[in-house]
């Protein structure tokens, strides 16, 4: 594992990339930050593993399509022998997106998209991801989630009534946490679930498909105008903000493009939560999982101010405690729960809300 690093010592990075041009771009981007030093370059998986074994870097950037040993196989071996923070640098293709998401389940910390359509990753984005990843103790992570056999999803004519909405926000470590949380939610839950995970465009669609395959709920990437329904999980698409709207008199999601002047993550947890809070009020449950930064703190404050409930993942089970800590620092957390207990807390909260709604309607 990487050794203890002080502020005086730069972040030591090994770059795994078979394209000479892309390798140069990555190295130049990283070394534009004086606090980062590239200590090794490997053009295939075996070379990367040798470098990690010899140099024990603080972080590795890893391409997916390399000769001799591809990125996923390299990652699995690396994590079993020398657990090290890994940032995947991936092409914007459907095949690469699916493999990149598999890498997150095997221990990669984050994804940075490669050049696509003339738009390359910015040096700042790559530097930010590597800086954040280098401070993570990946030895605490759970890798390779087991396949969950759920069989065919039953279709019933009697869907539960929409009693509440649950908005789950996450960033670094979120894909792994969501793959644990969402399959624990029962199909009959009388709530719609909205997931806001910091993730590049293209990848969110395949992430939603992986959630759908693992869960008894119906998960999909959100589209403009999708109606909120109980038992449905809508994943905010990368590069789009999600907010509450209306379709044929029913609550639905609206998608907005990112304002280039905004420096917030897109999709933004704060944006989504703040949009839903004044309308759903006590019927809104906000959940903040592992992640860097403060996204979700303002949104959870809005939920609390409107009578809703806020649940945070605890420090011990969070890969990165930044986002939950920011919510707790605002005094907005009602419950702080280990990851394995969050689904149960959501169900109890939603059931309580639904019971109150039913009692009110009978009066």
3-state helix vs strand vs coil in the chain, percent to 5: 40, 20, 40
Task: Map tokens 């465009």 to a residue.
Answer: 201
Contact assessment for residue 315 and residue 332, using Cβ atoms and an 8 Å cutoff: no
Active site residue 171: yes
Pairing of strands 164-170, 191-197: parallel
CA distance 236 to 355: 29
The residue among 266, 316, 267, 321 whose CA lies nearest residue 289 is: 321
Question: SS3 of 208, please?
Answer: helix
What are 147's two structure tokens? 């396949």
Task: Map tokens 């090794």 to a residue.
Answer: 40
Segment (H or E) for 141: none
CA distance 141 to 173: 9
Active site residue 135: no
Q: Which of 58, 198, 274, 275 is catalytic?
A: 198
Instruction: Tell me the DSSP string of 14-32.
Output: EEE-S-HHHHHHHHHHHHT
Report DSSP state, residue 161: P
Active site residue 198: yes
Contact assessment for residue 268 and residue 234, using Cβ atoms and an 8 Å cutoff: no
Q: Which of 171, 268, 274, 318 is catalytic?
A: 171
Q: Find the length of the chain.
A: 363
Please enumerate, as own/partner, the contacts of 146-151 that have beta carbons within 8 Å and a separation of 24 or more. Answer: 147/214, 148/183, 148/214, 148/215, 150/183, 150/214, 150/215, 150/216
Cβ neighbours of residue 310 closer than 8 Å, sequence gap 6 or more:
285, 286, 287, 288, 300, 303, 304, 327, 332, 333, 334, 335
Could you tell me how many helices (H) and strands (E) the chain has, helices first?
Answer: 11, 14
Q: Which of 63, 110, 226, 295 is catalytic?
A: 295
What are 313's two structure tokens? 């993942």
Give the catalytic positions in this structure: 171, 198, 295
């Amino acid at each position: 594992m990487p050794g203890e690093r002080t502020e005086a010592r730069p972040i030591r990075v090994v770059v795994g990339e078979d394209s000479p041009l892309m390798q140069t771009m990555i190295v130049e981007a990283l070394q534009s930050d004086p606090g980062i030093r590239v200590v090794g370059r490997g053009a295939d998986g075996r070379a990367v593993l040798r470098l990690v074994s010899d140099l024990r870097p603080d972080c590795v950037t890893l391409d997916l399509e390399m000769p001799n040993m591809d990125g996923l196989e390299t990652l699995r071996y690396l994590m079993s022998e020398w657990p090290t923070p890994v940032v995947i640098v991936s092409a914007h293709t459907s095949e690469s997106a699916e493999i990149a998401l598999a890498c997150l389940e095997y221990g990669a910390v984050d994804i940075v998209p490669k050049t696509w359509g003339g738009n390359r990753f910015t040096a700042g984005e790559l530097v930010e991801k590597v800086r954040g990843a280098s401070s993570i103790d990946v030895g605490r992570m759970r890798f390779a989630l087991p396949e969950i056999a759920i069989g065919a999803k039953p279709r019933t004519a009697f869907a539960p009534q929409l009693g509440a909405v649950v908005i789950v926000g996450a960033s670094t470590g979120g894909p792994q946490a969501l793959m644990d949380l969402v399959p624990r939610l029962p199909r009959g839950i009388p709530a719609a679930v909205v997931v806001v995970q910091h993730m590049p465009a293209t990848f969110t669609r395949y992430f939603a498909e992986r959630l759908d395959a693992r869960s008894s709920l119906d998960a999909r990437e959100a589209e403009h105008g999708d109606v909120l329904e109980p038992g449905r999980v809508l994943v905010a698409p990368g590069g789009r903000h999600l907010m509450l709207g209306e379709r044929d008199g029913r609550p639905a999601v609206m998608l907005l493009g990112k304002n280039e002047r905004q420096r917030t993550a897109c999709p933004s947890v704060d944006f989504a939560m703040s949009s839903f809070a004044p309308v759903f009020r006590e019927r809104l449950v906000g959940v903040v999982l592992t992640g860097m930064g403060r996204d979700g703190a303002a949104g959870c404050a809005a939920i609390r101010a409107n009578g809703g409930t806020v649940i945070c993942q605890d420090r011990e089970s969070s890969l990165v405690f930044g986002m939950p800590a920011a919510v707790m620092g605002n005094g907005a957390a009602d419950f702080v729960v280990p990851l394995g207990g969050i689904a149960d807390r959501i169900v109890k909260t939603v059931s309580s809300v639904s019971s109150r709604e039913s009692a009110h309607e009978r009066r």
